[in-house]
Amino acid sequence: GQQLNQSPQSMFIQEGEDVSMNCTSSSIFNTWLWYKQDPGEGPVLLIALYKAGELTSNGRLTAQFGITRKDSFLNISASIPSDVGIYFCAGHDSGNTGKLIFGQGTTLQVKP
Amino acid sequence: GAVVSQHPSWVICKSGTSVKIECRSLDFQATTMFWYRQFPKQSLMLMATSNEGSKATYEQGVEKDKFLINHASLTLSTLTVTSAHPEDSSFYICSASVEAPGTEAFFGQGTRLTVV
């Protein structure tokens, strides 16, 4: 089945630094979604991407849908302590069933 | 964004008992909802697709008799863990899309199930 490879697995950065994480796949996805999950909570949608090449921002967050439809990245600029959490990329499967396939997640820790 | 509410947030039950988890779309109707399971420090694993008015579709390896799903209305899906055992302890999360499947998916708060 389709799989998403997300990297890095974890990051430990200083407050104020920029962060970048990405997801790749060997197959094409029709949408890319980026979520953040805090401990004990459900994932919260950050950015949704629907078109190849699309670049979308949400405050300090920027994400792009790769032109090949096989990858996406998420950037966080000027990180702050509340950015701490697990970030997941997700894509809708090619069958358009609405099923989401998730990456393994990137754990972000920010040192004040 | 749309609001998906899950209840309860956490539950502790004895081995052998059954537990029901509710997932509600509060401000929209959802013909399709999804149930995920998440183990500590791992990603979300899709368990099943809940279809309003019809049987749920289970992913490979998920026991349908163990995890009963009912989607009786356009705003409510329930997951019942039957004859729970300690290995069923996990974080269960539901999601729904406002628009057609394949668009933005919104998640509930999750339910922490602990079977003792």
Position A60 scores a pLDDT of 97
User: What is the percentage of chain B residues whose pLDDT exceeds 90?
Assistant: 74
* Alpha carbon A32 to its chain's center: 8
Two tokens, residue A62 = 């920027």
Two tokens, residue A11 = 């990051």
pLDDT band at B53 (very low <50, low <70, confident <90, very high): confident
Partner residue opposite B101 with nearest CB, options A44, A96, A105 = A96
Strands (E) located in chain B: 4-7, 10-13, 19-25, 32-38, 44-51, 57-58, 67-73, 76-81, 90-97, 105-107, 111-115
Between residues A3 and B56, which one has the greater pLDDT? B56
Closest CA in chain B for residue A33: B104
The three state secondary structure string of chain A is CCCCEEECCEEEEECCCCEEEEEECCCCCCCEEEEEECCCCCCEEEEEECCCCCEEEECCEEEEECCCCCEEEEEECCCCHHHCEEEEEEEECCCCCCCEEECCCEEEEEEC
**Contact (CB, 8 A) for B81 and B67:** yes
Pairing of strands A19-24, A10-14: unpaired
- Tell me phi and psi for residue A81, to 5 degrees: -55, -30
- Tell me phi and psi for residue B18, to 5 degrees: -110, 150
pLDDT tens, A9-64?
Answer: 999 999 999 999 999 998 888 889 999 999 999 999 999 999 999 999 999 999 99
Residues of chain A with C-beta less than 8 angstroms from the C-beta of B95: 42, 100
Partner residue opposite B102 with nearest CB, options A88, A90, A96 = A96
Partner residue opposite A33 with nearest CB, options B32, B101, B105 = B105
Residue B23 has pLDDT above 80, yes or no: yes
Closest CA in chain B for residue A103: B43
| Alpha-carbon span B12 to B28, nearest angstrom | 30
Asked if omega into B40 is within 30° of 0 (cis), the reply is no
- Chain B residues in contact with chain A using a Cβ-Cβ cutoff of 8 Å: 1, 4, 6, 32, 34, 42-44, 46, 49, 91, 93, 95, 97, 100-110, 112
- Tell me phi and psi for residue B27, to 5 degrees: -125, 20
Look up tokens 């956490």; give the residue: B10
Closest CA in chain B for residue A47: B104
Between residues B72 and A79, which one has the greater pLDDT? A79
